[in-house]
Structure 1
Amino acid sequence: MPHKACTPTPTSPATGTGEAGLGGVSLKRKVTLLHGVSIIVGSIIGSGIFVSPGGVLAYAGTPLAALLVWMGCGIFCTLGALAFAELGTMLPSTGGEYSYIHAAFGGLPAFLTLWVNVMLIRPAAQAVVALTFAEYTLALAFPSDCPAPRVAVVLLASCALCLLTAINCWSVELTMKIQTVFTSAKLLALFTIIVAGGVFLAMGNTEVLSEHLLAGSPSADGVPLAFYSGLFAYGGWNYLNFVTEELKEPYRNLPRAISIALPLVTTVYVLVNVAYLAVLPPAAILASPAVAVAFASEVLGPVQYWVPVFVALSTFGSLNGILFTSGRLFIAGAREGHLPPALAYIHLRAKTPVPALLVTCLLSLVMLGVNIFFLINCLSFALWLTIGGAVAALLWLRYTQPNLPRPIKVNLALPVLVLLGCVYLVVVPVVMEPSSTGLGVLLTLAGVPVYVVGVVCRRRLGYVTSLFGE
């Protein structure tokens, strides 16, 4: 790509929105309400609801408790998203929780948020989704007793990452069209499961559900981990805040998109799990690594072979949404001097963050060859720590800057409740999974020396150089 194809986007001192007030090029408002709903729904619904609801069931103890956990996770994420709506309209810059923590608490906490997301959470999530897409796509070509070779899976995952990165670099409009189409496809897949389960029950096949719904006993120790597994399936509820700068009429469309997308996903998740439980006994759900496939083999007949297609479509759309928002996080960090300035460059024609997208793609490609599943588990701690930090930023800014314009202002009880939930989600793994949490803490703290050398020392060196220049 020619050197002049990209130009930096200086941040406006007044608004922090990155509008090109100094001759630079800014991101354009091309994301509509429908696109916003597609980003949220498409980023949340990946492979989890098709593959492993057994994790929630195993920890919850009973099917009824598992359904309540799925519902509770949806309600909690909706409350969190509404708190983020206040933040997103109060500080309408790209970057999500990184930008909010920076505004409230300063450079180091914000950099650590950026460090964990850019270097670990985002690339790992993109790699996992890409690998899942590859595995289910190749499942169409390989028999169930002969899984696809690892090399083939990694190559196809790499192709998916590179293809979607190229599309994200080329056009925002094309990216949003892909997001909308694939979100529709995954909702159609889930709707098929819901209808099939409903028809199965309507035909009088209620024995499995009635016999097992209250079977077993809820586990007090397991419920926190059940919520952890459920909330992982809801991951992506905050991604629209990363593109607030590109959202048309953000003060109206951000809360509208949240109000449509989160209740929709919650309803779909609960109904899909009811369909699973109507057809499969809990033991079968716990034993199956791909519950949707087991469900399809029982009730969908010849159509069962479409399930791997649906999962592949779902993960492809989810990967597209994560890539789209990841590039915007890089921009926010580069604008503040926490990442190399080149990562804030915007393509002149496409108005897309090409350097940022290329870097996040490269980091994801590197992680395709690493055992990243344990890594993701240990970094769930860091993920909820950063979300809790963003909600704490909302409360702190309410106290320190009460006159800051707030087009949306939620009841104070809402962010307090969400913050308490985040504290719970951070503390529980420390007790239940100290080894993985400890690694997450170490990986987060590893960003401190990077900040000192790469940000503080570089800025002081730049100040000294400017004095000599004068």
Structure 2
Amino acid sequence: AFATDSALSANFGRLWEPAQADPGTGGTDWLGLLTVIGVAMVGSLFAADAWNNVTFVAGEVRDPERTLPRSLALGTGLVIAIYLLTNLAYLCVLPLRGTPDGATVLDRGIQFAAEDRVATAVAEVAFGHRGGVLMAVAVMISTFGCNNGLILAGARIYYAMARDGMFFASVGALNRHLSPALALLVQGAWASVLCLSGTYGQLLDFLIFSVLLFYILTIGGIFVLRRTRPGMARPYRTWGYPVLPALYIVMALFIEVQLLRYKPQYTWPGLLLVLLGMPVYWAWKKVTRQ
């Protein structure tokens, strides 16, 4: 209902005609193009990162062998569908290309949307000047809802570590409401430190680099366990093994290397912080054994 003729014509009018790559995007240099895409993936990877948070409460879920794979597949599939439809809506309302000094939202297009806020630009086309306010309210509601899930699920990591003897025992205690109150406080304190350490964009680089590193280690663990524990019970088997897991590791490593090259300010500290965890882990195990 809010689609514009200019966007439909510009974005879909010549859909099957080959287009010339913009200068600076790598052109026919596929390595350069992949590098640009890899570095640009930080935002999208962050947006999708909470897909696995349901596993943080696996110990409190009935029939986790059956429930968790289904919830991961359904949740991830639903989010993918929503993201694809959202981007399709953007392309139906705003032209992909625009001019930086355009007088209207349509003139600036997606390419030069004010402060890269494409959703706000689309809302302004659909609802006029009220669109910006409506989008701000929607983002606030979404953010509070997202934070609620992230905070409650994230604290379970500290709780589980404490229960396994890998963190302070007091963090593994529940209050009278059966909530890990101290774990929530520890998480809040660490989150506050991170918030004061850099800008939003810098923290994204720091976070995604560290998260991808742990994903690589986790998926690498599939290969290790197949060799070291071949008889281990596996309620869920990795689809496409060994090709898909290996392909993911290669692609993730490529993104990691490019982030280290082009965004070193926060990716290198992220790497050092992760590496620092190794001696801390060994020291903790040594102390707890005594």
Q: Which TM-score tier does this pair reach, normalised by the shorter chain?
A: 0.7 to 0.9
Q: Partner amino acid for 1:342? A: S
Match of 1:377 among 205, 218, 221: 205
User: If the length of structure 2 is used for normalisation, what is the TM-score?
Assistant: 0.79
Match of 1:390 among 218, 228, 251: 218
Q: C-alpha separation between the residues in 2 aligned to 1:212 and 1:291?
A: 22
Q: Partner residue of 1:238?
A: 52
Q: Partner residue of 1:441?
A: 271
Query: Secondary structure of 2:174's match?
Result: strand
Q: Partner residue of 2:126?
A: 299
Deviations 1:169-227 (A, max 9, x none): xxxxxxxxxxxxxxxxxxxxxxxxxxxxxx23487962242368676527314122233
Contact kept, 8 Å, 2:220 with 2:249, in 1: the verdict is: yes
* 1:341-360 paired onto structure 2 within 5 Å: 341-347=169-175, 349-360=176-187
Match of 2:253 among 404, 409, 423: 423
User: If the length of structure 1 is used for normalisation, what is the TM-score?
Assistant: 0.51
Return closer, same or farther for 1:441/1:359 CA change in 2, 3 Å cut-off.
Answer: same
CA drift of 1:452 comes to 5.0
Q: Partner residue of 2:189?
A: 362
CA drift of 1:295 comes to 1.0
Return closer, same or farther for 1:375/1:259 CA change in 2, 3 Å cut-off.
Answer: closer
Deviations 1:261-320 (A, max 9, x none): 112111111121121122223333243222221111111247623211111111111111
Deviations 1:137-164 (A, max 9, x none): xxxxxxxxxxxxxxxxxxxxxxxxxxxx
Q: C-alpha separation between the residues in 1 aligned to 2:236 and 2:274?
A: 32
Q: Partner residue of 1:256?
A: 70
* 1:22-421 paired onto structure 2 within 5 Å: 199-201=1-3, 206-210=8-12, 217=21, 219=25, 220=33, 221-282=35-96, 283=98, 284-287=109-112, 288-289=114-115, 290-301=117-128, 304=131, 305-347=133-175, 349-373=176-200, 374-411=202-239, 412-413=241-242, 414-421=244-251
> Which range moves more in the overlay, 257-266 or 366-375?
366-375
Structure 2: segments with no counterpart, 5+ residues: 26-32, 99-108
Q: Partner amino acid for 1:350? A: H
Runs of 4+ in 1 over 4 A off after TM superposition: 202-205, 211-216
CA drift of 1:326 comes to 1.1
Q: C-alpha separation between the residues in 2 aligned to 1:368 and 1:381?
A: 17
Q: C-alpha separation between the residues in 1 aligned to 2:6 and 2:274?
A: 53
Deviations 1:29-58 (A, max 9, x none): xxxxxxxxxxxxxxxxxxxxxxxxxxxxxx
Q: Partner amino acid for 1:330? A: Y
Q: C-alpha separation between the residues in 1 aligned to 2:238 and 2:7?
A: 45
Q: C-alpha separation between the residues in 2 aligned to 1:239 and 1:280?
A: 34
Contact kept, 8 Å, 1:279 with 1:298, in 2: the verdict is: yes
Contact kept, 8 Å, 1:209 with 1:279, in 2: the verdict is: no
CA drift of 1:354 comes to 1.5
Contact kept, 8 Å, 2:7 with 2:91, in 1: the verdict is: no
Output the aligned Cα RMSD.
2.6
Query: May I ask how many residue pairs the two structures share in their alignment?
Result: 261
CA drift of 1:397 comes to 1.0
Q: C-alpha separation between the residues in 2 aligned to 1:325 and 1:420?
A: 29
> Which range moves more in the overlay, 274-283 or 307-316?
274-283
Query: Secondary structure of 2:49's match?
Result: coil
Structure 1: segments with no counterpart, 5+ residues: 1-198, 464-470
Q: C-alpha separation between the residues in 2 aligned to 1:267 and 1:216?
A: 29
CA drift of 1:247 comes to 2.0
CA drift of 1:451 comes to 3.6
> Which range moves more in the overlay, 391-400 or 413-422?
413-422
Q: Partner amino acid for 2:229? A: Q
> Which range moves more in the overlay, 397-406 or 252-261?
252-261
Q: C-alpha separation between the residues in 2 aligned to 1:235 and 1:344?
A: 25
Deviations 1:43-94 (A, max 9, x none): xxxxxxxxxxxxxxxxxxxxxxxxxxxxxxxxxxxxxxxxxxxxxxxxxxxx
Q: C-alpha separation between the residues in 2 aligned to 1:206 and 1:234?
A: 28
Return closer, same or farther for 1:312/1:435 CA change in 2, 3 Å cut-off.
Answer: closer
Q: C-alpha separation between the residues in 1 aligned to 2:227 and 2:203?
A: 36
